[in-house]
Amino acid sequence: MQAVKINKLHLDDLPWIIEYDESKCIQCGKCSASCSFGAIKPVVELRRKPSGGLQKPSFDRLLVIKQQVSFEHHCRGCGMCSRVCPNGAIKAVRNPNDRYAVRYRAAKADSLKKGGRSNLNTEGRTLDKIKIGRISQMTDPSLDAARHQFELRTPFGRVLSADKLGLHNDGGKMELSTHLPPNRWIYPIILGDMSIGAVSWRMWEAMAIATAYLNEVMGIPVRMCTGEGGIPVRLLKSKYVKYMILQIASGHFGWNRIIQAMPDMVEDPAGILIKIGQGAKPGDGGLLMASKVAKYVQEIRGVPKADLLSPPTHQGLYSIEESVQKMFLSMNAAFNFRVPVAIKVAASVTSVSVYNNLLRDPYNIVGGFFLDGLAAGTGAAHQISLDHTGHPITSKLRDCYLAAVHQGRQGEIPLFAGGGLGQTGSFAADAFKLICLGANGVFTGRLLLEIAGCVGNETGKCNACNTGLCPAGIATQDLCLTKRLDIDIVAQNIVNYFIATDIELKKLMGPIGNSTLPIGRSDALITVDKHISNRLDIQYIC
Amino acid sequence: MTKEVFKIQTLTNNKRMSTQELLQLINSKIKEGYTDFDVQACGQHNIGGSSWALNPNEELHFNITNPGQRVGAMALKGTNIYMEGSAPADVGWLNSGAVITVNGDCGDTAAHCAAGGKIYAAGRVGTRSGALMKHDPKFDSPEFWVLKNTGSFSFEFMGGGIAVVCGWDCDDYESVLGNRSCVGMVGGTIYVRGNIFGVASCVEIINLDDNDINFLTEGMKQFLSQINKSELYEELTDFSKWHKIVPMPQNHKQTNITVAEFRKNNWIEGGIFGDFIHDDFVVNPLPATSEGRVHIPLWHGDNCVACDICKNTCPQSAINSEDKKYYTNSENCIGCGICEAVCPKNCWEIISNRKEIS
């Protein structure tokens, strides 16, 4: 008999417990075959036959499904087992006595890593406590959302105030004497920001196809940010690159191929996004676990198979002014000042200082300010960063907008907000409220994963993106798992979701009587929460 | 027999009669038997509306100058209204049977919600004209005739009836219907002569058929005589310049190519990763067999006693043996691990089938 030692990891330490009903099991093996984590296995167990003590004990041998107890093969609660079970004999149930995080650190002397999203939601969502309460009725007519022609586009790129336009009178004709900073009118939702590597090639291509389709077939001018894991050369050299915002983060992964492709590019990219930080793990660099650094990822990034840790800062940038002079200038120069260059930072108590400083940029080369809130997702992070660092998006976006308003410079550097949008079901409502609070647009990555079939949630389900064992074939580079993902269905579902979101945005614009995006129209918002009312400067109602 | 015309001058000694006073005066005179009125109005609203002759066999006649808004509003069959000169907004609002003639331009929302009768406009009509026109099949279809053009957003939400926009004196106009007309139109017909631009996508612009030509040929005579422009008959009955606008059928759905077709036909050939990885884009079921298995069994035969327990227990019947050597048929095996579990001699090992794309 194997003795049990009290310090050994035990089933009751794990976050998820498999509930299994052997009387319903037909021993088809589909559950264990589907579990990418190897968390369940068929085993033979003994059952003592009743003998009343008159005979020597005898046993039945019974084939059952048993949960594995190990750090490497523990259940993540993804639910693939219950999905494939023909009889509903098995499911993962949250363990209220979970001590996994303690046991892991104690056993491994290493920080706990996680993918997906923060699972420590203690504050509730501010956006859910805000309603759109200023309805146009007799004061000014509401618009018919289904039939009115709305203009949903938003500027991406530096917008100059009239006095800086450099207009002069040339023999009675108005002429521009200066080079205008590049500006693109785009849909106010930017997709992606997820790298090749963090997500599978099928997921990444599905997002790119959906973006192209929305533009070319539906006439919805969405843009996709590539994330920083390089861009396939075929895409760079295609006309579709005009829908792509190329990202450069502290790792500078993949830029070699972008630069090599420049002479053969037929279109300029939609923009460039300098990623300084991300909301899910602010102040920490990118992390791609070795298990996801597949051969093609190695090629495109120019690295060997290893855990890829990007530095938390862009090395060589030591101040805001220097980042403008060096990073913005270089990225503007990359496409000869034709392509808008924006920056993404994690929301932080310091965000306003950064934004104010960028507003003073004398070269007019800062084309957008992306703020990423703490509820954002990530492919992999230290759990301590995910759960305990960061700043919610709503108040910081508002702070930045009002800081610009204070100087009469709102809209000059367009604000984009992201991080946990759509978490409680309606992405359009979240987007609309942030736009009313001052955002020019919003961005989302995690929502796309959920559209694609990600089973994770905010209360600890799955969130195993860091393992490379994504059961949905999304956050993995494994061939078997990626092949679970249907590229056409994923792309179609993303397209469908955006068509629905487009309808829903109009359903919110109509009642407040706006034909164009209600950027900064905080008079449309109300809240029953006095603190939110005070902090965001919106009307308190009861 | 010539009937006595009751004349009303609404401005006397610089004092203007209110709308209420005027309408009550007209109605009291109708009750006395008057049917014909000459109203020199001063901007009063709703003249000629919701009234009917004392004698059901008689009709009401109004000659109006300088009216206010909603001339002929809620007017019934048997009411005839004639205006020399232009009229402001809402001419014939909710018209339910009157014949209303404006020998001039109309303001905005002319014929708004008209559900009966005829409205003849000898000039241009304003924005949102003809919006929400309807046709109750128990009554004659409403008709709305316009000699020149309409403003933008006209015929919004139109549910029935007939509108005729003759586009005369409109050669310089990009569109005789302004911009964004017909939004939400679900019924009725609009005949248009001249340029059309920017109508809503819920309607289609098609050619006239014989019935349309017959209707216009007849109706045009009446319209032109009503507005004293019969000399235009030849010009306006050159049907090569006419089209008609009808709503798309309700079941008509704009069909776009699917995303899958887009990937096949429009997207970068072979996929964006196609130059360095090979993906057949096949989608594996859950659980999968063959190369799609997450786990695969390996047989080590050293201790095998050929008891066949694995073979008999395998839920997919994927295990075969030959000369006491056991092997799996990967076409059937899903990698469940039951063979490993049941073998009394530990001959099966389940290993991970993790691999990268190449």
For A249-259, what is the mean pLDDT?
91
Report which secondary-structure segment, H or E, holds A66.
strand A59-67
How far apart, in whole angstroms, are the C-alpha atoms of residue A334 and residue A262? 9
pTM: 0.89
Choose between A383 and A403: higher pLDDT: A403
Sketch out chain B's domains with CATH numbers. Answer: 5-247 (2.160.20.60), 259-352 (3.30.70.20)
Which chain B residues have a beta carbon less than 8 Å from that of A482?
Answer: 357
The answer to whether residue A523 neighbours chain B at the CB level (below 8 Å) is no
Which residues fall within 8 angstroms of residue A333, CB to CB, at 6 or more apart? none
The answer to whether residue A477 neighbours chain B at the CB level (below 8 Å) is yes
Amino acid at A76: R
Question: CB neighbours (10 Å) of residue A304?
Answer: 9
Please state at what angle helix A393-406 crosses helix A351-359, rounded to 10 degrees: 30
**In the structure, what pLDDT confidence band is assigned to residue A142 with cuts at 50, 70 and 90?**
confident
Please state at what angle helix A427-436 crosses helix A393-406, rounded to 10 degrees: 30
Only one residue has tokens 């249907």, namely A486
Which chain A residues have a beta carbon less than 8 Å from that of B259?
Answer: 209-210, 213, 488, 491-492, 495
Choose between A523 and A377: higher pLDDT: A523
Closest CA to A460 of A147, A190, A79, A124: A79
Closest CA to A17 of A66, A64, A50, A71: A66
Report which secondary-structure segment, H or E, holds A490.
helix A487-512
Strand locations in B14-59 (E): 15-16, 36-40
Closest CA to A157 of A194, A186, A127: A186
Which chain B residues have a beta carbon less than 8 Å from that of A42?
Answer: 336-338, 340-342
The alpha carbon of residue A469 is apart from the nearest alpha carbon of chain B, in Å, by 9
Residue A261, classified by CB atoms within 10 Å of its CB into exposed (0-12), middle (13-18) or buried (19+), is middle
The structural architecture, per CATH, of the domain A11-110 is: 2-Layer Sandwich (3.30)
Q: Nearest chain A Cα to B290, which residue?
A: A480
Residues paired with A114 in a beta bridge: A381
Q: Nearest chain A Cα to B344, which residue?
A: A44
Residue pLDDT, tens place only, A160-193: 988 888 888 889 998 887 788 999 999 999 998 9
The answer to whether residue A304 neighbours chain B at the CB level (below 8 Å) is no
Facing residue for A63 by CB, picked from B258, B334, B341: B341
SS3 string of A118-166?
Answer: CCCCCCCCHHHHEEECCCCCCCCCCCCCCCCCCECCEEEECCCCHHHCC
A389: left (phi over 0), alpha (psi -120 to 50) or beta: beta
Q: Are B71 and B84 in contact, with CB atoms under 8 Å apart?
A: no
The answer to whether residue A240 neighbours chain B at the CB level (below 8 Å) is yes
Facing residue for B262 by CB, picked from A34, A209, A299: A209
Tell me what pLDDT residue B249 has.
Answer: 85
Q: Taking 50 as the threshold, does the pLDDT of residue A506 lie above it? A: yes
Report which secondary-structure segment, H or E, holds A301.
helix A295-301
Determine which of B156, B281, B291, B294 to mutate to test the interface with A (most A C-beta atoms within 10 Å). Answer: B294
Per-residue pLDDT of chain B (358 residues; tens, 9 = 90+): 457 999 999 999 999 999 999 999 999 999 999 999 999 999 999 999 999 999 999 999 999 999 999 999 999 999 999 999 999 999 999 999 999 999 999 999 999 999 999 999 999 999 999 999 999 999 999 999 999 999 999 999 999 999 999 999 999 999 999 999 998 899 999 999 999 999 988 899 999 999 999 999 999 999 999 999 999 999 999 999 999 999 998 776 668 899 999 999 999 999 999 998 999 999 999 999 999 999 999 999 899 999 999 999 999 999 999 988 999 999 999 999 999 999 999 999 999 998 888 8
Amino acid at B13: N
Q: Nearest chain B Cα to A43, which residue?
A: B341
CB burial readout A246-259, b (16+ within 10 A) else e:
bbbbbbebbbebbe
- How far is residue A262 from each of residues A237, A330, B338, measured CA to CA in Å? 8, 15, 54
Q: Nearest chain B Cα to A34, which residue?
A: B287
CB pair distance less than 8 Å for B256 and A205: no
Instruction: Return mean pLDDT, chain A.
Output: 93
SS3 string of B267-289?
Answer: CCCCCCCCCCCCCCCCCCCCCCC
Domain-wise residue ranges, chain A:
11-110, 151-518
CATH superfamily, domain A151-518, is Aldolase class I (3.20.20.70)
Q: Nearest chain A Cα to B315, which residue?
A: A28
How far apart, in whole angstroms, are the C-alpha atoms of residue B115 and residue B93? 9
Which chain A residues have a beta carbon less than 8 Å from that of B286?
Answer: 30, 34, 80, 83-84, 484
Total beta-carbon pairs less than 8 A apart between chain A and chain B: 168
Tell me what pLDDT residue B1 has.
Answer: 47
Output Rg (C-alpha) for chain B, integer angstroms.
Answer: 39
The alpha carbon of residue B309 is apart from the nearest alpha carbon of chain A, in Å, by 12
Closest CA to A441 of A476, A387, A393: A393
How far apart, in whole angstroms, are the C-alpha atoms of residue A488 and residue A477? 18
CB pair distance less than 8 Å for B256 and A486: no
CB pair distance less than 8 Å for B268 and A238: yes
Sign of CA dihedral B55, B59, B63, B67: positive
Q: Nearest chain A Cα to B352, which residue?
A: A38
The alpha carbon of residue A36 is apart from the nearest alpha carbon of chain B, in Å, by 6
Facing residue for A483 by CB, picked from B256, B263, B282: B282
Facing residue for A33 by CB, picked from B262, B335, B356: B335
Q: Taking 70 as the threshold, does the pLDDT of residue A312 lie above it? A: yes
Tell me what pLDDT residue A114 has.
Answer: 87
User: Distance between the two ends of chain B, CA-based, in angstroms?
Assistant: 101
Could you tell me the two tokens for A382? Answer: 């230290």
**In the structure, what pLDDT confidence band is assigned to residue A89 with cuts at 50, 70 and 90?**
very high
Closest CA to A347 of A246, A414, A276: A276
Question: Complex ipTM, two decimals?
Answer: 0.91
Could you tell me the two tokens for B63? Answer: 């000659």
CB pair distance less than 8 Å for B256 and A218: yes
Interface of A with B in 358-397 (CB under 8 A): none
Tell me what pLDDT residue A1 has.
Answer: 61
Per DSSP, A50 falls in state: P
Residue pLDDT, tens place only, A334-375: 999 999 999 999 999 999 999 999 999 889 999 999 999 998
Q: Nearest chain A Cα to B258, which residue?
A: A492
The answer to whether residue A212 neighbours chain B at the CB level (below 8 Å) is yes
DSSP secondary structure string for all residues of A389-446: ----HHHHHHHHHHHHHHTT-TTSS-EEEESSTTTTS-HHHHHHHHHHTT-SEEEESH
Which chain A residues have a beta carbon less than 8 Å from that of B185?
Answer: none
CB pair distance less than 8 Å for B355 and A484: no
